[in-house]
């Protein structure tokens, strides 16, 4: 997973001259450690108090955000938006097992720092076209 994320990041940076990519490092409790402070998180639950909580990157128009843990040995688990049947990639957390499911009262979160980077999908399309 991390290698895929880094490959997209490198492709965008190396291919498009005037691209704006937002990037930030967050601690497991959602605190910005370093990077772009335009990236904001909303916590669903309370790290240190709850055994399960989710992160949500607040939207910035035209940007998509890709979170990934600094430790590749953990797994991502996606949450559901209230009133929806399926999980949504907007709501994520990190767990120790790929079999963990929140909907089945799954395991507690792993406290792991993570990076978020944001890009415009239209830039990715432009970059692909320019490589063709």
Structure confidence by residue, pLDDT tens digits, 86-118: 888 899 999 988 776 654 567 899 999 999 999
Q: Where are the alpha helices (DSSP H) in 24-132?
A: 121-131
Confirm if 25 and 113 have CB atoms less than 8 A apart.
Answer: yes
| Among the listed residues 131, 122, 3, the one whose alpha carbon sits nearest the alpha carbon of residue 64 | 122
Instruction: Name the pTM for this structure.
Output: 0.85
Confirm if 49 and 32 have CB atoms less than 8 A apart.
Answer: no
Q: Which pLDDT does position 128 carry in this prediction?
A: 64
What mean pLDDT, rounded, does the chain reach?
A: 87
At 28-84, the pLDDT tens digits run: 999 999 999 999 999 999 998 999 999 999 999 999 999 999 998 999 998 888 888
Q: Where are the alpha helices (DSSP H) in 21-97?
A: none
- Cα 126 to Cα 115: distance, rounded to the nearest angstrom: 25
- Cα 15 to Cα 69: distance, rounded to the nearest angstrom: 25
Residue 82: give the domain boundaries.
2-131
| Cα 101 from chain centroid (whole Å) | 18
Confirm if 13 and 21 have CB atoms less than 8 A apart.
Answer: yes
Number of domains in the chain: 1
- Cα 115 to Cα 130: distance, rounded to the nearest angstrom: 28
- Cα 88 to Cα 21: distance, rounded to the nearest angstrom: 23
């Amino acid at each position: 997973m991390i290698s895929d994320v880094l490959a997209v990041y490198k492709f965008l940076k190396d291919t498009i001259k005037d691209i704006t990519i937002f990037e930030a490092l967050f601690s497991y409790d959602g605190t910005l450690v370093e990077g772009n402070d335009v990236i904001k998180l909303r916590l669903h639950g309370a790290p240190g108090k709850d055994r399960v909580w989710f992160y949500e990157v607040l939207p910035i128009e035209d940007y998509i955000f890709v979170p990934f843990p600094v430790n590749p040995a953990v797994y991502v688990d996606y949450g559901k938006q209230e009133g929806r049947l399926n999980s949504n990639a907007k709501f994520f957390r990190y767990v120790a097992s790929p079999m963990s499911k929140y909907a089945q009262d799954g395991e507690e979160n792993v406290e792991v720092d993570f990076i978020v980077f944001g890009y415009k999908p239209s830039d990715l399309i432009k970059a692909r076209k320019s490589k063709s």
